[in-house]
């Protein structure tokens, strides 16, 4: 239940003063001071005179987050819990149940238990809905109930959850969790090594270097570095990972800001591990930030061939600034630019459309790599070789955001069995079952074409006659029918997502990566390219 905090206005007000005090006042000092005074008096009067009891801490938290929401999604206020989570993400070590859990309004959903850790040992599975933690009912808990799962090593917590309509209970003994930056690496064949780099925490460059050394010791003469799904992390680690493959002193990133001290050049500082080994880097639409620094830098320097789908397009740099009482402001301080001079930021948060959404860049500027190859800014890192099955669109995004693929995988897991990943197969009849399942869920999504048509039909100032409007409506119906057909049009892309989700249920992440070695389109394409020295070299020329 909520704890009511009575008229404690001092702490939030100080937080705002310090937050603003860290900014540059310049010529608008008076305006900033004026707005602070207005807000302070408003906040005090509101808490003293409102008809019902208020919670000043919650009000302030909401006010700050709404204010920052006008900027970009990466500029965030971090309370004490958020600061601790931020540190854990960077360190790669924490104490807890060892599972990825997603919070909803009245439940916690287990997305992925990590193999061999506490939640896995206690029997939790992906798709389990946690409804009670200890004596706390998740639906009655106002904050993120996932915080209740954290705790010291060897402490226990009883969890009640729903699985396939049945209520179950288990006791979890918490323990230390190691979050590896490199969760998997192996030889694909006798000469090709493969490394998965899943995050840029403090372990990233050391673990990548160690994996590379081991693979070379096992005969690797060429390498595939997989950054697909890597959301980024520490800028310093992105530089260090790139440094494994390029000489000391190379410019990797330039940051530009209105604040002079944030205008910096970042160069490699160490002797490379191997600046000659033929290298392919895999990216997709979930490769962001530090992943784009590595892939974009290696592409600009003609050090690697990039294979996959266009990356996310996050060209903004954040820095945590300390506030009072253990809180922080994670603020966007600059844009970063790859060695060729391009910024790959895809969304313009400072020029929004009528609905308040950030505008996506559609006009790209041309740049050249060291060898004179053409590359472009403004839309993520474009691969040198595109893999169609890695592309995404509004349908695929809707299937994911509505948990259609996830929930189908849960049902599939309890209806099928496989004794090894080598025996796994997803048949045409399985895909037909998925289409029927998706149709039953009544999930909705709107294409850009639909949006324009609806705005035209519903616009108050439309000059269209009734006949034309009826034809527009017929076109909208045709588009809706086309959405169902799109499940066939994009079968390869959707089936890959299904296979990834399902295989992880049976054989965890390691099983998925082993499946990739023999079946993944991007890896097979990279393997074939690396085996052809002439073709590989010609791409980089």
Which residues are designated catalytic?
Answer: 289, 300, 314
E strand residue ranges, 142-183 = 156-163, 166-173, 175-178
Cβ atoms of 241 and 210 within 8 Å: the answer is no
Cβ atoms of 254 and 266 within 8 Å: the answer is yes
Structural tokens at position 47: 């808490």
- Per DSSP, the three-state class of 311 is coil
SS (H, E, C) 457-507: HHCCCCCCCHHHHHHHHHHHHHHHHHHHHHHHHCHHHHHHHHHHHHHHHHH
In 10 A of CB 162, how many CB atoms? 14
Structural tokens at position 180: 């590896």
User: DSSP letters of 173-211?
Assistant: E-EEEE--S--EEEESSSSEEEEE---BSTTHHHHHHHH
Cβ atoms of 48 and 7 within 8 Å: the answer is yes
C-alpha distances out from residue 125 to 156, 168, 330, Å: 18, 12, 33
Phi and psi at residue 248, in whole multiples of 5°?
Answer: -65, 140
What sign has the CA pseudo-torsion 92, 93, 98, 99?
negative
CA distance linking residue 246 with residue 252, whole number of Å: 10
First to last CA, the chain: 64
- Per DSSP, the three-state class of 275 is coil
C-alpha distances out from residue 224 to 174, 185, 228, 382, Å: 36, 10, 12, 17
Structural tokens at position 186: 């192996």
Q: For the stretch 408-434, what's the b/e string if a residue is b when 16 or more beta carbons lie within 10 angstroms of its beta carbon?
A: bbbebbeeeeeeebeebebeeebbeeb
* Cβ-based neighbours of 386, under 8 Å, separated by 6 or more: 308, 309
């Amino acid at each position: 239940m909520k704890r009511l905090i009575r008229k404690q206005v001092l702490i939030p007000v100080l937080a705002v003063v310090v937050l603003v005090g860290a900014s540059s006042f310049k010529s608008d000092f008076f305006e900033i001071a004026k707005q602070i005074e207005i807000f302070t008096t408003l906040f005090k009067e509101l808490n003293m005179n409102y008809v019902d009891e208020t919670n000043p801490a919650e009000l302030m938290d909401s006010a700050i987050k709404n204010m920052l929401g006008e900027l970009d999604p990466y500029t965030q206020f971090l309370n004490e819990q958020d600061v601790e989570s931020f540190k854990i993400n960077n360190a790669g070590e924490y104490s807890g149940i060892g599972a990825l859990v997603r919070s909803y309004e009245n439940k916690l959903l287990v997305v992925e238990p990590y193999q061999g850790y506490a939640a896995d040992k206690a029997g939790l599975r992906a798709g389990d809905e946690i409804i009670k933690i200890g004596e706390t009912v998740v639906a009655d808990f106002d904050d993120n109930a996932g915080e209740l799962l954290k705790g010291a090593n060897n402490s226990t917590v009883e969890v009640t959850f729903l699985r396939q309509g049945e209520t179950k209970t288990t006791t979890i003994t918490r323990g230390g969790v190691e979050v590896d930056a490199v969760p998997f690496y192996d030889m694909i064949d006798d000469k090709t090594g493969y490394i998965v780099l899943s995050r840029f925490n403090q372990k990233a460059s050391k673990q990548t270097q160690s994996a590379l050394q081991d693979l070379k010791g096992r005969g690797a003469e060429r390498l595939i570095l997989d950054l697909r799904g890597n959301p980024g992390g520490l800028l310093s680690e992105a530089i260090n990972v790139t440094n494994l493959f390029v000489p000391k002193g190379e410019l990797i990133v330039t940051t530009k800001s209105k604040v002079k001290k944030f205008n910096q050049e970042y160069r490699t500082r160490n002797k490379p591990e191997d600046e000659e080994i033929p290298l392919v880097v895999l990216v997709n639409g979930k490769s962001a930030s530090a992943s784009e620094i590595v892939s974009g830098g290696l592409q600009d320097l003609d050090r690697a061939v990039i294979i996959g789908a266009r990356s996310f397009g996050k060209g903004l740099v954040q820095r945590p600034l300390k506030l009072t009482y253990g809180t922080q402001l994670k603020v966007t301080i600059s844009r970063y630019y790859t060695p060729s001079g391009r910024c790959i930021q895809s969304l313009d948060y400072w020029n929004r459309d009528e609905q308040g959404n950030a505008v996506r860049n559609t006009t790209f500027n041309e740049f050249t790599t060291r060898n004179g190859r053409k590359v472009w800014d403004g839309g993520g890192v474009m691969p040198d070789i595109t893999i169609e099955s890695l592309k995404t669109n509004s349908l695929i995004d809707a299937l994911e955001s509505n948990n259609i693929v996830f929930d189908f995988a849960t049902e599939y897991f309890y209806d099928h069995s496989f004794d090894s990943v080598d025996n796994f197969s997803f048949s045409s009849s399985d895909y037909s079952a998925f289409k029927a399942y998706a149709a039953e869920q009544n999930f909705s999504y709107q294409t850009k074409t639909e949006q324009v048509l609806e705005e035209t039909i519903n616009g108050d100032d439309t000059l269209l006659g009734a006949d034309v409007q009826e034809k527009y409506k017929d076109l909208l119906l045709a588009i809706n029918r086309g959405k169902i057909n799109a499940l066939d049009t994009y079968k390869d892309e959707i089936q890959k997502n299904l296979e990834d989700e399902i295989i992880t249920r049976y054989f965890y992440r390691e099983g998925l990566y082993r499946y990739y070695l023999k079946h993944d389109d991007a890896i097979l394409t990279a393997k074939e390219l690396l085996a052809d020295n002439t073709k590989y070299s010609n791409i980089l020329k």
